[in-house]
Structure 1
């Protein structure tokens, strides 16, 4: 493999990592606050991708502009998800929580099949075939835009969680639900906001992604698995860990794709998952004692 191809793989991996991180932080945020893994996370991304596609195909709205419409809608869906599923899941054992979100995942997949059929859909624009030269590397314009928006949103979300009262309250509930309740914090409201924000981030990722990748009813399952690998790699509940995990997965996947076949590249994140579970199950950024 030549140096130019390797450099192209690095740049492509970094661009993918930004989008992966945006998808994964929603999953890790919900787990960090509520201690529930939402296995239907990818299906809400699929809904956001369809929303971005139909905003473009039916209304002529650019997917980037559609983010302003899709994100609030996904936040409302997140609030409904909490009210209809998550708040009841808090009362049952973890295996039941997993079964409930897995069941929701399958339900949304099959509803999408009925509503949209299994056809692949993609936003096709003039800039989809345009590229920007960065030295010996050429980056797709849509990929560059998606990377830039993802980085800005991740930075804003990190600042909110670390620098505002809202973030402080969320971190307090994540650390101790009972302690937060005794301090007068509305724990139920915090949970609802955590799910709304966690799902709302997909309202940004979905329209960006549909310009880069076909959407179909099964695309969400792929990204649920990737997000799960990323949060396990970085440490469940760790925002910084999600960024590091996305970086590792994005780079490893891209370099493997340049070196080997696409099928081998697709398997790389799961090889990483197995290695992490065997050697450091608490994740790279989590210093807690292993259970």
Structure 2
């Protein structure tokens, strides 16, 4: 029983980061209508920036958030301007091909620049644990979970309580009508993509104290994010949060009680079951929903 609780705690804490990554992916799809297969690569970029700030300047990973967050937002704006905007009016397949191409380019560029060696940071809290009721809790995972919840809560506030958020919701609900009402939709596409990429980069920062960066790490995170989005419901922020925590717990349980080599197989089995039984996801209104779910 103690091992079960220990495993569930570790998986749940990791799931918070999965949720943060998935919320950004959901936001981009809901507002800009782009399924970004390069989303995990932005997590990987955030991890590498954090590593080099630590290795080169001795900057604490959490302090590097002050650099990584604005840098990733700017990268998101450039991504929207240089890659997405030129193909905005094309078919969904074209957008998928474009983002898959970006994913491959970024992976190979990282491999060329930094090699295939895994890189990690080493701080006083990297291996620190808290013991609560006989259960050991990784400090890095705990901080990552809390940080992810804070970021998701901040996004939820922005989407519900600010004019920018209301405009983004309006575009997500009915983009053509928003255009007719004079909303500068293209400008808000930059905002949505910037926030989406920034959230991915922040997730990368939160992962670094207990995870190593590698050129192929982004592929893993992209797969995780898509599974979370499908399980939680396309367009649902609440679904991404619940789905991320659930997936983190299931992944850790599978690695502990079945086999680490079968973790992804278990996740994809769950993915298939959800698609067959409830294709709209746990919190989706209906199959194919495109609502940016804030309900």
Q: Same fold (TM over 0.5)?
A: yes
Alpha-carbon distance, 1:166 to partner: 1.2
Alpha-carbon distance, 1:258 to partner: 2.3
- Equivalent residue, structure 2, for 1:146: 144
**Counterpart check, 1:212 vs 2:210:** yes
Report Cα offsets for 1:218-256 as digits up to 9, x if no partner.
000000000010011111111111112112211111222
Whole-angstrom distance in 1 between the partners of 2:252 and 2:134: 17
Report Cα offsets for 1:49-91 as digits up to 9, x if no partner.
0000001010000000001101100000000000011112221
- Equivalent residue, structure 2, for 1:181: 179
Q: Give the SS at the match of 1:64.
A: coil
Alpha-carbon distance, 1:289 to partner: 4.7
Alpha-carbon distance, 1:178 to partner: 1.1
- Equivalent residue, structure 2, for 1:84: 82
- Equivalent residue, structure 2, for 1:121: 119
RMSD (CA atoms) = 1.3
Q: How high is the TM-score relative to the length of structure 2? A: 0.95
- Extract structure 1 runs of 4+ deviating beyond 4 A: none
Provide the aligned length of Structure 1 versus Structure 2: 289
Whole-angstrom distance in 2 between the partners of 1:143 and 1:252: 16
Report Cα offsets for 1:120-179 as digits up to 9, x if no partner.
101112211210011121011111111111111111111111121111100000011111
Report Cα offsets for 1:241-276 as digits up to 9, x if no partner.
111211221111122222121112232221111111
Distance 1:93 1:248, change over 3 A: same
Whole-angstrom distance in 2 between the partners of 1:28 and 1:207: 20
Contact 1:24 1:242 in 2 (8 A): yes
Task: Give the one of 279, 282, 285 matched to 2:280.
Answer: 282
- Equivalent residue, structure 2, for 1:6: 4
Contact 1:75 1:199 in 2 (8 A): yes
Query: Unaligned stretches of 5+ in structure 2?
Result: 290-295
Whole-angstrom distance in 2 between the partners of 1:29 and 1:119: 32
Alpha-carbon distance, 1:38 to partner: 0.4
Q: How does 1:1-291 map to 2 (within 5 A)?
A: 3-289=1-287
Whole-angstrom distance in 1 between the partners of 2:266 and 2:209: 24
Whole-angstrom distance in 1 between the partners of 2:87 and 2:278: 28
